[in-house]
Amino acid sequence: MITPPISKLTPSKLSKKEQAAQEEALLVQQRIDTKRIKSFEADTWKKFENWGRESGKLSQHLQTYCFGISGKIRKAIKFEPFDITNGIKILEIIEENASEILIEVEKPIDPNAKVYPKLEVTLEVLNQAIQWDKKNKKLKSISFEMLANLASERKPLTDQNKKIAGWNLEILQKCGFEYKP
């Protein structure tokens, strides 16, 4: 005789609302833990793996999870619940035994990082951007054609087209374009 799982044997004493609240709390905690895991770059997880191997503080199992988490961060793959659980376990071990590693790998804020003002998408801005890109050739042809069509009014300046043009203007700004009114 096959016995049913334990959850089927013992009736739940929680109401459906309480069960839903527990599930929601679990999902929120998973999102928080996922953000915490993703707050470290893929290369940092490789450092955690190397530290665990050298110090012997991480089991082979957890070293493998460091490797896997590194790959999932690099490739932007969704984490499974067991990835999250093991990732948090690894971070707790590192905090306990070698918190200096976490301080080492924190991303320093670059005071010289340039902040680009968000440009309003107007015909004048688009025309300047097109003239600049004709000389510098930074946009892909399809993006350039989109801006050119908007500037020549062959395409209307709808909200969606403005959003797309705004993305292209951001790319141009990062490449050196400056709007001069």
Q: What is the structure's pLDDT at 133?
A: 94
For residue 5, pLDDT over 80 is answered with no
The arithmetic mean of pLDDT across residues 9-31, rounded, is 79
Q: Find the angle CA(109)-CA(110)-CA(113) to the nearest 5 degrees.
A: 130
Q: What is the structure's pLDDT at 53?
A: 93
12: Cβ contacts below 8 Å, ≥ 6 apart: 19
Categorize the per-residue pLDDT at 114 as very low, low, confident or very high, splitting at 50, 70 and 90.
Answer: low
* Domain match, 47 and 89 both: yes
* Domain match, 101 and 137 both: no
Residues recorded for the chain:
181
For residue 69, pLDDT over 90 is answered with yes
Q: Is 135 within a domain?
A: yes
Number of domains in the chain: 2
Categorize the per-residue pLDDT at 65 as very low, low, confident or very high, splitting at 50, 70 and 90.
Answer: very high
CA–CA gap between residue 89 and residue 31 (Å, rounded): 16
* Domain match, 72 and 30 both: yes
* Domain match, 133 and 78 both: no
Q: Is 152 within a domain?
A: yes
Count CB-CB contacts under 10 A for residue 107.
9
Q: Is 160 within a domain?
A: yes
Range from 128-132, 164-168, 172-176 that averages highest in pLDDT: 128-132
Q: Is 76 within a domain?
A: yes
